[in-house]
Structure 1
Amino acid sequence: MLSKKNLLLSVLLLWPCVLLAQLPNNLLFQRYSTHEGLSDNYVFNVVEDRQHFIWASTFQGIDRLDGVEVRHYSLIDSSQTDAQPSIEVIRDYKGGIWATRNANLFKYNPVQDQFELKVQTKNKEFSANNKKIKQKFALLHDSHNQCFWIASEKGLFRYQIETKRLESTPIRSFSTPYKIISINTNTLIIATNEEWISYDTRTQKSFRIPKPSTEWVIYSTKANHWIYSDEGRKIWEISFQNSQFSLPVLTEINPERQEIRSIATLPNQTGAKTLWCGLVTGGLAVQDTENKNHYQLFNTRINEINGFHYRRILNIFQDSKHNIWLSTDQGLYRANPTKFQIQKELFPFFRKLNISRVRQIVQHASKPHLEWVANSNYGLFLYDKVRQKIIKSFEMPGSGITQIKYDRHGRLWVLSAKMLTIIDAQLRIKIITTTHLKPNLLCWRIIFDRYDNAWIGSEIGLLKVAFPTHTLTVHSPDITDSQSISHAFVYDLKKLNNQKIALATRNGVDIFDIDTEKVAEKIGPRQNVFALDIDSTETMWVAYSNEFLKISNHQVVKSWKSYGNNRALRFKNGLSVDKGGKLWMNTNDGLLHFDPSTEKFQLFTENDGLISNYFYGFIYENNGNLYLNYEEGVNYFDPLQAHIPPKIYETLLTDFSLLDVRQGIDFRKQQSPFKVNYDQNIITFHYSVVEFDQPEKITFRYQLEGFDKGWKNGNTRRDVSYTNLSGGHYTFRVQALSSDGNVASNIAAFPIFVTTPYYRSWWFFGLIFCGISSFFYGLYRYRLKQILKLQHLRNSISRDLHDEVGSTLSSITMLSESAKKSIDIDEAQTRKFMESITTNAQKVLENMDDIVWAINPKDDSLESIVLRIKEYAYTITETKDIHLSFDIDQRFQKLKVPMKTRQNLYLILKESINNAVKHSGCNELKITLKIEKKALNMIVQDNGQGFDVLKPTLRNGLENMRQRAEELDGKIRIDSQKNKGTTIYIQLGS
């Protein structure tokens, strides 16, 4: 743990608004510890930023609080120290958040959401590199000069916030420094363990004086003055005038002579500043240094009652919302002096006597320190609340006390099940029995008229106890009398005026005339009335089980069935109008307050100081307090105490994530829409409201304009995600709401732009349309091409049949006719004709076979051509005794070729072989088929007699071969010399 010399002090920010003239006697504290999310229970100090987040420095780093969540930040640097870290969080003159860790200075970057190192001890101005830090470090933010003053054993340094420069000063060395304070705009006081040093920031002049105390507390209370504590726990004041220190003057601060740990200032209603002193003993002393007035001392006992358990207060701070923050070694404590204060009082003697349930508390008529405490199943006690001691008890076993109330003669009336009891000022008892009316008769409420008669609501009707005879009369319902009460069960009754009283029965509200002792009027719904009360204007307020009525001039003028954000009203047994005309109601949700002037509801629960949300009832008593009854104690409060004006929640956007990755955005400066790529289209918005008083009451509603059709209820959740947004502009809006509907808030907005994926863009749809159109057009063209191809094939077959077969068949026909004519004339000629017919018939068969082969898809490979050529070549050469050889590339046979190519190629080779066999006179024939450079190369070579290729010929074979080669985009070349043979080169493809 740190020594007391190492504890930091902080100046409390001035209140932005006026407080009450005096602080409440009991501050209710709420503790924040590691259980609530703090990184460590040892808290050095806190500050508030411009968005009202609370930043706390702990041993583990910096924590940011908003009332619900705590976000942790680490302060990372390369320096090392043997001691535990000393950490402080600071707000600069622009609202920026800074932090120190030992002698290192960090600044918070809201875009990156992290603290960045700005000044490190490794800088040459401080110490040598890689040396462990052992010197003390002190820092002061100077808003006037817009800089930080940093003191170490190496001297005093100035860090310029705007230029980010670290500058040295003429002061080059210190004994161990521990505190820098500013006593005016140009003068610093630097406290070390041996001396005080005054430094003028304008002239850079300084002087030193010995320090009269080894204690570390030093604090500037006003300009050119500061106070310090000595070893004897006395507080001294020193002034600074004309560059001179005055002699120390003993002050009246801390009359208890308790050692002070921390000091802060706080203005009261008149404007004078009060000192808040955190004591070593674990208390808070509030001092008025101007008027030497000791306001309060929050000692250990009071603090324990109010939930404040700590050892040392290291820092006292007040934020802009009036919260007082105490930084201690046991956590962070918060109290709000302006909050509506609900006190509690417990009765430990109840447990000792094995009794429970406080029915009512009434302040003694003449002795305010005494209270009458009524218990439902034991009796009545006169209790000294100062000495916490029972003065007198009245045991009433099984009596079932329901109410106690003073009349104007100072007599206390006690309503119970078996009797009515009257206790006078001398504590003498008079009993009025009721057992003759009904054993264990329940009597609920009592009032007194102008004649001092007592009127009591009971379960058998309205009872009258006449004054002074105490004669008992019962008014019961009578079906034969229209002016009798509506129901025997009269739960509540109130004075409407001096002549009439209002009765709450199980069958509606009756107006009863005390002079005629008859019901003058019956008002409102005929159903069970839970409670009623009447204000100073004779307006009646009536509560049913789930409805609340306003009755004016005996007419129902308005009703309510819900409050806040459509929260259903559910009443229990209690309703009271205070002296200010405000209403207090007992509901299932807790204590409900209603202001008739604004028609606003406000709910108070356990978080506001109630012992429990469920209490048995309450009564507005003679001391002006409203009491709520519980098992072992009561809540009580002054209903006329000032109410906090309605707050305005400031809704904040805190983070924006894409695919669960936080984006660096400063929401205060972001104006243009944030661009979101379509493939990052899982987005999350994080939002918050900084509120520490009942943050659980805050709910949210949100809307993504461009996607959501209206506002959506987000309940208490503080983030919302969207996926698969279409491309376009959107604006996310979020607003905080209070559950009771009393708090307004701004609407936080953040625009985004989601890019359109290419597959949803107009040009992509255009491409799809063009592609589909092109596909169908291509399909149409392909179909047309196939039809034309088929037609071309038909035409080709028709032409081939006509050319090859038709002419031959015509020849056969003519030869047949000639043979018929010559058969009887010339037998030899007839035989020649028959041989010609046979030859032509064979030729027809061959041509038909070639045509069928050409159009057969099974024969669409070059291998088929090779086989057919081989068959043809071997057949034709065998008869001529010609030696035939083939040189065929294996790749050649695997190629697929179209029908037309196959036919023309075959016919070219066939014609070449036929010409060689018939006309060359060769005895050797070689056929070469190869693939070279993606081209089909075919060579037909013979060793025949050759011919002159330039000499014209009447044969059409060579010309047909050239035409067929051209159809295939091929080339044909013929080399031939006389007596040296002929070579035909055929090349298809490039």
Structure 2
Amino acid sequence: MKYLVTLLFISLCTYAQLPQVRFEHLTSKDGLSSNDVLSVVEDKEGFVWMGTRKYLTRYDGYQFQNFTQIEGAYNHGITSDEQNNIWFASRTIPFGRIDAKTLKVNDLSNKLPPLPDGNFGNIVFDSQKNGWMSDFHGVFRFDPKTFAHQYFPLPNTTYKDIKADFIEDKQKNIWVIGLDVGIYKYEPLKQKLRCVVGKESDKPDKRLFFEVSRATIDRHGIIWISAFQQGLIRFDPVTEDLKFYKDYTLAVCADTDEQGRDILWVSNAKTIGIFRPDEEKFYFYEGVYSDDFQAFNICKSPRTGIVWFCTLQQGVFLYNPHSQLIKAVSFANFLPENNLAINAILKDKTDATGQTFYLGFSRWGMVKWNKANNSRQFFRYPHYPSEAETRQIIQDETGKIWIFTNQWQTWADGKENPEDNNFEGIFVFDPQQQRFLPTPFTTHHGFFTVPFYSIGMQDSKNRMWIINHYLSMHVVDKATGKEIVLWDKKDHDTLMKNRWIMDVLEDKQGRFWIGTTSGLFYFDERTKRFSEVKFPDDKREISIIKLLLDTEGNVWATGWELLAKINQQGVALLDLGSKDGIYDIECRQIAEDIHRNIWIGNLGGLQVYSPKQQRFLRFTQNDGLISDNTTYSFYMNEGKELLIGQKGSLNIVNTQDLLQNKAISNLAVSSVIVNNEQRFYDWSQPFELKRTENAITFHVSALNFMKANQNHYSYYLEGLENGWIDAKEDATFTYNNLSPGDYTFHVRMFDETSNRHLKEVAVSFSIVPYYYETWWFKTLIIALVLVLAYLFYRFRINQLLQLQEVRNRISRDLHDDIGSSLSSISLLSVMASKKLDPESSSNQLLKQIPEEVSRLSSAIDDMIWNIRPENDGFENFFVRLRDHTVQTLQAQDIEINIDIDSSINNEIGALSMEVRRNIFLIVKEALHNITKHAKCTKVDMRLSLQKNMLRIDIKDDGKGFDPQKPSSRNGLKNMTSRAAEVGGSFEIKSAIGKGSEIVLQVPVLEKKLIRL
């Protein structure tokens, strides 16, 4: 929002007549669709609707929303009904309505008879919910639901425009204000319009002609009409009497001023002003705008009290009563020179009313000002006033006022002029006698080489401190002028070395605090010592300009990028800089209000620090400051009102109201941007977005039309964020790449200073997922996967069952067919050998057949055992391996020791047929070699599981051999190849005379992974 600051300073004769106000200004530079605006209405939510030459526009205090399909609504009137729908007339849509919740535009032109020419306009609704509207020839009364209507023609004239406006009085009567035909009253029983004033009136004295523009009704029920050349008309709807006030007026609106007195806002061909009915006088503002302007419509918001001024070509001006908390009083026309700053402010304690202040200016003298009646009296300094720069004003115990100045001209005179003795740099003023007195002691270059009396202070013992910033400090007895020595000169000189003294104050313990350009010190008169205050950041350069003693006895210091708090023990409790919120580095003034807030004057405006909230607020020209330079002087009046010296003027800040702004806040969602497209929804109902519509921006507004930084928001998106997020003054909230789901956007507003929760708004919406992101689709996919997995599982089980059946059949066939055949062969060979000569070679061959059959039967038996599915378990395999080992070795009288880890049975569920076969054959071959070649007496076998590897260690105590020696035997090669077949390894360790050891490692599956 652009603010055109208009501060109006009035002399004594008009001080109470023209309210001191500040107008704000909106134009096309701020986003207004056109600078031609003639219609404004505020709806029940608090949005302001403006009829402009270009479009119908809605304004929320931050941004404008243009309804581009509604063009040329600037002079045809807009209004809202009981449901908050917006009714309008425009060039493109002669008669229409905007839905309050969805903002959908409805063309209702076909609900009324077609217009012969011109447009509809000036739509209003009365207390009976009937609509009233005018065209170029008369007025309609219509039912907004059924559009049943009654038409009342008005006399034809040469005037070609909307014919009438409407006012409802306190007795619920409807008055038709004919723009060029007079005043009519609607009589519901007769259902007709009666001419009260105009050429159709039945009273000759009321047959008057005047052209009117706008009308308003005040709180007493009096109707006021702006009537161009005839001026302002007062019309009493009870007596039907008129009174004319001859001053050209274009528009009028009823209101009250700051004291509750009735006023009328009026406009003429040049500016805006007020009319005071009790005085029957007009007062017009000057300098509101750089050029003359015409406000053709003035509207007051019943909710916020804001007054809107609609103009042609200059946009909209507004007066916000809640932004008027910084007042201004001008002394510019009362001074001998322009641009004189108020360097010192003193409240006269001899005045029982507490309304008298003395203001010391940068040159010439001081002004005695009565705040209650704005009276002022100028007192010129008695000695070289044009060169006497006021630095400080204090009042002693007798009520006399001491003014300390930098006397530039006396410095130029040197010590030659004895007339300087009485008035050189320090002036004493008697408020009772209203005159300057001779200084009670001679100052003529007695303290400083130059007459710059920068600082003056009277301590609790009524001693006067006189200080030059860069030369020295002196304590003086006022009566005798003799200096009182409080400190050692060497300590004083050390203090003054390479630093300036900027301020001095006395605390409750009688210590004197001295702020310098290089540190903060305090002087204890009892010990006569200066002590320096240590700050937390000892590397930071501390440059102090102003000191403050707060109500608790703490010392506050401000200066270059500094706000510090030091307790009574001299410990710095707080040290703040720009990183903490100080806006401008040069802070020169400081004050404390009754709520213990600390106010700071710098070149960037007025700042206040809240120790309770630990935060800064800032106020500028936009809030009513004459200038953002607030460094000249401060005075806190009774802890509630801060007086700020400015050039030629004074700002008065109501600190309590400024920090507890009572502006009505009606937080609302202004609009939603979805994928860069503006949407309107019924925010009270959840709405849906498509899956691709996952970028959403919410614009909200407090609808109080205050500065953005005076509204404080926090927010969170339920469904994405878990807690409130502080947005400060940011009123736009954007979310991108939202996932499908349900969300609720929460936003709330706080009072900027007290953090008091004012209002919360919630908007619910959902993003619809793609079909493949829905729960039913995911459930279907999971079910399908489970079915497929089950089918695969059944297929695999069936395969395994079939394989088991094949293995069982093979083992049966081997056992039944091959086994019986081998048995028959063995039996037949035995029988045949009995019939032959025992010594014959044939008989010897027949005897070998049973041995071979036995060996073959053993191999077949092993094969059958290996094929059988029930032997897949590791436990069965181990039993088989153990039995074979024991039988083989015991037959040779070899001691056997078999050790197995207890965890193997739990970890290994089953072994495949291939693994079992190869392990068994490798062990069998190893045992065969032991019995045949080792010549051992003992064998140790150990089975263990290491990292999914079944490890078999077989160790004997036989004669051993050299593994590196070449051998023609195939046994070792076969064992190595068999281990490799199943992904394992085979290793043999041996040495001559030290036995042998083989290590077999075969990968196996854990029990939990194999169940088939």
TM-score between the two structures when normalised by the length of structure 1: 0.61
| 1:478-497 per-position Cα deviation (integer Å, ceiling 9, x unaligned) | 68899999997542233556
CA distance in 1, matches of 2:659, 2:255: 19
Post-superposition offset of 1:357: 8.0
1:95 and 1:562, CA in 2 relative to 1: closer, same or farther beyond 3 A?
farther
CA distance in 2, matches of 1:416, 1:580: 39
CA contact (8 A) 1:651 1:748 kept: yes
1:558 and 1:697, CA in 2 relative to 1: closer, same or farther beyond 3 A?
same
Tell me, what secondary structure is at the counterpart of 2:45?
coil
Give the 5 Å matches for 1:903-914. none
CA distance in 2, matches of 1:23, 1:775: 96
The residue type paired with residue 456 of structure 1 is I
Give the 5 Å matches for 1:500-519. 502-505=513-516, 507-508=519-520, 510=522
Aligned to 1:168: 150
Post-superposition offset of 1:71: 1.6
Give the 5 Å matches for 1:327-346. 327-329=310-312, 330-338=314-322, 339-343=324-328
| 1:650-671 per-position Cα deviation (integer Å, ceiling 9, x unaligned) | 443233344334444111x21x
| % identical equivalent positions | 16
Post-superposition offset of 1:187: 3.8
Post-superposition offset of 1:358: 3.5
Instruction: Say which of 27, 48, 51 aligns to 1:54.
Output: 48
CA distance in 2, matches of 1:296, 1:600: 45
The residue type paired with residue 64 of structure 1 is R
Post-superposition offset of 1:72: 1.5
Instruction: Say which of 198, 210, 216 aligns to 2:212.
Output: 216
CA contact (8 A) 1:282 1:300 kept: yes
Aligned to 2:687: 674
CA distance in 2, matches of 1:286, 1:580: 39
CA distance in 2, matches of 1:518, 1:265: 68
CA distance in 2, matches of 1:68, 1:542: 38
Give the 5 Å matches for 1:688-699. 688-698=701-711
CA contact (8 A) 2:382 2:436 kept: no
Aligned to 2:476: 465
CA distance in 2, matches of 1:676, 1:774: 39
Aligned to 1:71: 65
The residue type paired with residue 48 of structure 1 is E
Aligned to 2:400: 409
Indicate yes or no: 2:458 matched with 1:448.
Answer: yes
CA distance in 1, matches of 2:368, 2:220: 48
Q: Which moved more, 1:711-720 or 1:684-693?
A: 711-720
Aligned to 1:274: 263
CA distance in 1, matches of 2:347, 2:221: 53
1:614 and 1:364, CA in 2 relative to 1: closer, same or farther beyond 3 A?
closer
CA distance in 2, matches of 1:477, 1:486: 14
Aligned to 1:297: 283
Aligned to 1:766: 782
Instruction: Say which of 43, 54, 79 aligns to 2:37.
Output: 43
Aligned to 2:204: none
CA distance in 2, matches of 1:782, 1:626: 95
Give the 5 Å matches for 1:99-138. 99-101=88-90, 104-118=94-108, 120=109, 125-127=113-115, 131=116, 133-134=117-118
Post-superposition offset of 1:381: 5.0
Instruction: Say which of 231, 250, 255 aligns to 2:243.
Output: 250
CA distance in 2, matches of 1:29, 1:452: 48
CA distance in 1, matches of 2:229, 2:154: 33
Tell me, what secondary structure is at the counterpart of 2:772?
helix
Tell me, what secondary structure is at the counterpart of 1:762?
helix
CA contact (8 A) 1:47 1:55 kept: yes
CA distance in 1, matches of 2:52, 2:772: 52
CA distance in 2, matches of 1:606, 1:724: 41
Instruction: Say which of 174, 179, 184 aligns to 2:165.
Output: 179
CA contact (8 A) 1:360 1:404 kept: no
Tell me, what secondary structure is at the counterpart of 1:93?
coil
CA distance in 1, matches of 2:603, 2:258: 38
CA distance in 2, matches of 1:742, 1:453: 45
1:701 and 1:571, CA in 2 relative to 1: closer, same or farther beyond 3 A?
farther
Any gaps of 5 or more consecutive residues in structure 2? 1-14, 200-206, 370-374, 412-423, 537-541, 804-1012
CA distance in 2, matches of 1:600, 1:713: 13
| 1:211-268 per-position Cα deviation (integer Å, ceiling 9, x unaligned) | 4131315544467753446677465544445xxx64x4536xx5xx422222222246
CA distance in 2, matches of 1:332, 1:370: 39
The residue type paired with residue 226 of structure 1 is I
Post-superposition offset of 1:33: 0.9
CA contact (8 A) 1:484 1:519 kept: no
Any gaps of 5 or more consecutive residues in structure 1? 1-20, 788-990
1:67 and 1:643, CA in 2 relative to 1: closer, same or farther beyond 3 A?
same
1:476 and 1:697, CA in 2 relative to 1: closer, same or farther beyond 3 A?
farther
| 1:436-483 per-position Cα deviation (integer Å, ceiling 9, x unaligned) | 766558654322347754213444553223313334456556688999
Aligned to 1:312: 295
CA contact (8 A) 1:603 1:740 kept: no
CA contact (8 A) 2:253 2:264 kept: yes
Q: Which moved more, 1:359-368 or 1:470-479?
A: 359-368
CA distance in 2, matches of 1:474, 1:434: 20
Instruction: Say which of 704, 727, 732 aligns to 2:745.
Output: 732
CA contact (8 A) 2:687 2:765 kept: yes
CA contact (8 A) 1:682 1:721 kept: yes
The residue type paired with residue 201 of structure 1 is P
Aligned to 1:750: 763
The residue type paired with residue 165 of structure 1 is F
Tell me, what secondary structure is at the counterpart of 1:101?
coil
Post-superposition offset of 1:167: 0.8
Aligned to 2:1003: none
Aligned to 1:655: 671
| 1:477-529 per-position Cα deviation (integer Å, ceiling 9, x unaligned) | 6688999999975422335569775544555453666xx79579998859665
CA contact (8 A) 1:74 1:115 kept: no
CA distance in 2, matches of 1:393, 1:43: 57
The residue type paired with residue 243 of structure 2 is L
Give the 5 Å matches for 1:784-863. none
Indicate yes or no: 2:306 matched with 1:323.
Answer: yes
CA distance in 1, matches of 2:599, 2:282: 30
CA distance in 2, matches of 1:768, 1:486: 90
Aligned to 2:25: 31
CA distance in 2, matches of 1:45, 1:564: 46
1:99 and 1:389, CA in 2 relative to 1: closer, same or farther beyond 3 A?
farther
Post-superposition offset of 1:753: 2.8
The residue type paired with residue 261 of structure 1 is L
| 1:684-720 per-position Cα deviation (integer Å, ceiling 9, x unaligned) | 4333333432214546544323323555565665444
Post-superposition offset of 1:90: 1.4
Post-superposition offset of 1:165: 0.9
CA distance in 2, matches of 1:708, 1:222: 49
Aligned to 1:618: 633
CA distance in 2, matches of 1:709, 1:520: 55
CA distance in 2, matches of 1:643, 1:295: 32
CA distance in 1, matches of 2:56, 2:763: 28
Q: What is the total number of aligned residue pairs between the two structures?
A: 732
Post-superposition offset of 1:185: 0.9
Aligned to 1:493: 504
Instruction: Say which of 193, 202, 219 aligns to 2:180.
Output: 193
CA contact (8 A) 1:237 1:250 kept: yes
CA contact (8 A) 2:507 2:549 kept: yes
Aligned to 1:933: none
1:726 and 1:411, CA in 2 relative to 1: closer, same or farther beyond 3 A?
closer
Post-superposition offset of 1:315: 1.4
